Amino acid sequence: MVAFRSLCIACFVFISSLVMANEGMWLPLLLEKLNEKEMKGMGMKISAKDIYNVNRGSLKDAIVSFGGFCTGEVISSKGLVLTNHHCGLDAIQSHSTIDHNYIRDGFWAKNYAEELPNPKLYVSFIIRIEDVTKQILAGVTASMSESERQLVTDKNIAAIRSTVKKESYQEASVKSFFEANQYYLFITETYKDVRLVGAPPSSIGNFGQDTDNWMWPRHTGDFSMFRIYAGKDNKPAEYSADNVPYIPKRSLAISLDGVNEGDFTMVLGFPGKTMEYMHSEAIRQTMEVNNPAKIAIRDKALAVMDGFMRKDEQIKIQYTKKYATISNAWKKWKGEIPGLIRTQALEKRKAYEAEFQKRVNANMEWKSQYGNLLSELEAAWKEIEPLARARDYYLEINSKIELFTVARRVNALRNAKNNGSKYDYSEGLTKLKDTLTELYKNFNPVVDRQLFESLITMYVNDQDNRIVSPLLMDYFKAAGKDFRKLADDIYGTAEYVSGSKMMTALEQNPQELIERSKTIKASLLYEDMLATYNKEVAAKLNEVQARINRLQRTYMQAQMEVKKEKKFYPDANSTLRLTYGNVKGYSARDGVKYDFYTHLDGAMEKYIPGDYEFDVPEKLRSLYKNKDYGQYGKNGKMPVCFVAANHTTGGNSGSPALDAYGNLVGLNFDRAWEGVMSDISYDPSICRNIMVDIRYVLFIIDKYAGAGHLVREMKLVHPKKK
């Protein structure tokens, strides 16, 4: 039985590597060569050149990296940009106060003058992409160590960046692909004056919040709108009240026809990070070690924050974004484990490796070059297991305690001052003040103290003594081995807990405060935890990680050589990619089949008056009651979200979902729970991306918010009525 099963898995892997349509995040400049034929076969009506073309306008000219963490698309000739609500949340939050609570109530600018600037936000367009592998690898030899190799490639990258042909207002960057086997150059244009135009209330934009997050069926209107401003010459410019709405090379037409089951769709955006070519041992550790450790820590952190947020409106505003960020990855990690188990990802990866090894062994040259690769990779992964767990513990715990963030910043300035000859102290001080001003806006000492108490308890109790900070243990003993007392001691004495005191001290006598940080317990503790981590974990971890990177690079190269029949796509790395797949529902589990569409009726079914997550605004309820959907409804119903088999990941949020003609039909914002393991192992049977139907977005803008003037800026089309 077992033998039979693994045999079947082996043949499945072999066949699927030939035909796995839907999997893949493809480089736009290679579409013509690798994908166009298949895309047309699946229903695409335009050509690869309509998507990516450097000589004339193409769809890519309407796509932006939104702040480097999400995707956005231009949807009007006046620089209007659409992205997700959760992508715009930082901006929305920064303009919100108890009196003007745009998170709770939404925000709509009635004219240009009311659009709100966001100092740190930017959008970048891709002008062109070039393969520069040869130039970057010039001078690299097989015998080089990782750091030697890095020196050579860094030097080559710097040379290309300084000599490449581009306009003065454009940027050049080089990124590595396929585990640094290939390199591509990106010429980009970055606009830094990006203003908030509109956002629905979170009861629409984040309807269902964390309960529904990563889940299908979904009823969230996850969108917000911005506008790009440019200098009078339409070129990138720093923020100025005199800037004007940007006139784009290309903006997307919007289809009012929706999609049917089976329709071709594609998503063009900036996926952040995937690990599709990991060794099976790494998959096992993700499932059994790393995810469980990180989940346990975040369970605690989330429980602490939630307790306070439910009781206090001010804390809710301050912690909304932090909570959403922590819970988002936490929930995805939780979903990855059953997804990997259910799709037999580990077994399939092992079968894939066995097939690779078999082919390698059958070829003398490959055998001498790649014969030991897999066993060496496995050994290195085993070696890194305890180190990686310690890393997860250290990073997860440290980053949740904001007292440590303050300590880290203050310590960094002190250390830089004490050792740096070239260091610009006054600039460092200004930066510190800026960072802390932002941090304290959303800081509550009582919440942070409780986070400290809960998480430090885990740091001490769940870990080997050797990797626990000795100074922490001293403080702990002095507190009678009572974590609550320990937290009181640290927070009771640290002036870091008071934003106003800190900011006053930094204004009046910064030198003195920076020096005094040497005696502040929080600073000392942060320093000792870091030193312990560096000494006991990081040094060894980095050494093994470098070895894994090197092996993994060779393994990637070997796979491409040995599995010639397979089309490879590079792991996501926040560069522009295209993924395509058909609209379809899926079987979630035994006896449960999901439709591909949801409607406003479903939001009403979920509606819980006054609820934290499932409230529905009065106006929306009345539009629903009167079926007042204007041109956006279909057969008396209001479509809300749909799913398709596009291979997406974090960073694809806000990406346009395009129909067969390249018209905008939806806005990508999530993946369905059963398939979130697609970052590690994609399975076409259950991996689905979730999009909000563009008609729901327009309905909310027009009918709900009364901002029809924005819709009038857009180009609406009916491709199905042609």
85 lines the binding site for ligand GLU (CB under 6 A): no
Q: Which of 58, 61, 76, 86 is catalytic?
A: 86
* Separation of alpha carbons 378 and 367, rounded Å: 17
In the complex, what is the shortest distance from the CB of residue 122 to ligand ARG, in angstroms, rounded to a whole number? Answer: 19
**Contact predicate 93/321, CB 8 Å:** yes
In the complex, what is the shortest distance from the CB of residue 256 to ligand GLU, in angstroms, rounded to a whole number? Answer: 25
> What is the per-residue binding string for ligand GLU in 651-670, x denoting contact by CB under 6 A?
xxx---------------xx
Instruction: Identify what 652 binds: ligand ARG, ligand GLU, none; CB under 5 to 8 Å per kind.
Output: ligand GLU
- Listed residue (255, 268, 3, 245) closest to 111, CA to CA: 245
Return the residue of 255, 285, 286, 648 that touches ligand GLU, per CB under 6 A: 648
* Separation of alpha carbons 257 and 268, rounded Å: 20
Active site residue 222: yes
In the complex, what is the shortest distance from the CB of residue 608 to ligand ARG, in angstroms, rounded to a whole number? Answer: 16
Long-range contacts of 148-156 (CB under 8 A, 24+ apart): 153/180, 153/183
339 lines the binding site for ligand GLU (CB under 6 A): no
**Contact predicate 34/579, CB 8 Å:** no
Instruction: Identify what 206 binds: ligand ARG, ligand GLU, none; CB under 5 to 8 Å per kind.
Output: ligand ARG
| Cα dihedral 554→559→564→568 (10° resolution) | -100
End-to-end Cα, the chain, rounded Å: 55
Residue 87 neighbours by CB under 8 Å, 6+ apart: 66, 67, 69, 70, 71, 72, 224, 653, 654
**Contact predicate 217/600, CB 8 Å:** no
> What is the per-residue binding string for ligand GLU in 49-78, x denoting contact by CB under 6 A?
---------------------x--------
Residue 341 one-letter amino acid: I
Instruction: Identify what 584 binds: ligand GLU, ligand ARG, none; CB under 5 to 8 Å per kind.
Output: none
671 lines the binding site for ligand GLU (CB under 6 A): yes
**Cis ω before 684 (30° cut-off from 0):** no
In the complex, what is the shortest distance from the CB of residue 129 to ligand ARG, in angstroms, rounded to a whole number? Answer: 25
Instruction: Identify what 649 binds: ligand GLU, ligand ARG, none; CB under 5 to 8 Å per kind.
Output: ligand GLU
Instruction: Identify what 648 binds: ligand GLU, ligand ARG, none; CB under 5 to 8 Å per kind.
Output: ligand GLU
Return the residue of 650, 656, 666, 675 that touches ligand GLU, per CB under 6 A: 650
Instruction: Identify what 651 binds: ligand GLU, ligand ARG, none; CB under 5 to 8 Å per kind.
Output: ligand GLU
- Listed residue (239, 236, 124, 233) closest to 193, CA to CA: 239
* Separation of alpha carbons 640 and 332, rounded Å: 23
* Separation of alpha carbons 703 and 456, rounded Å: 50
Cβ closest to ligand ARG, residue 489 vs residue 613: 613
Instruction: Kindly list the residues in this chain that would bind ligand ARG in the complex (CB under 6 A).
Output: 86, 206, 209-210, 213-214, 324, 327-328, 650, 653, 669-670
In the complex, what is the shortest distance from the CB of residue 184 to ligand ARG, in angstroms, rounded to a whole number? Answer: 25
Task: Tell me the residue nearest to ligand GLU as measured from the CB.
Answer: 653
Cβ closest to ligand ARG, residue 86 vs residue 391: 86
Three-state SS string over 597-659 comes to: EEEHHHHHHHCCCCCCCCCCCHHHHHHHHCCCCHHHCECCECEEEEEECCCCCCCCCCCEEEC
In the complex, what is the shortest distance from the CB of residue 674 to ligand ARG, in angstroms, rounded to a whole number? Answer: 14
Q: Which of 454, 517, 653, 678 is catalytic?
A: 653
**Contact predicate 656/668, CB 8 Å:** yes
* Separation of alpha carbons 336 and 330, rounded Å: 10
278's tokens: 């990991």
Mark the segment that binds ligand GLU (CB under 6 A) among 163-171, 619-627, 633-641, 644-652.
644-652
Cβ closest to ligand GLU, residue 409 vs residue 671: 671
Q: If binding means CB under 6 A, how many residues of this protein chain bind ligand GLU?
A: 10
* Separation of alpha carbons 658 and 134, rounded Å: 34
Say how many CA atoms lie within 13 Å of 125 toward its Cβ: 26
Beta bridge partners of 124: 65, 190
Cβ closest to ligand ARG, residue 62 vs residue 87: 87
φ/ψ of 132, rounded to 5, equals: -120, 25
Instruction: Identify what 213 binds: ligand GLU, ligand ARG, none; CB under 5 to 8 Å per kind.
Output: ligand ARG
Residue 136 neighbours by CB under 8 Å, 6+ apart: 153, 156, 157, 160, 174, 176, 183
Q: Which residues are catalytic?
A: 86, 222, 653
Chain residues binding ligand GLU by CB under 6 A are 70, 648-653, 669-671
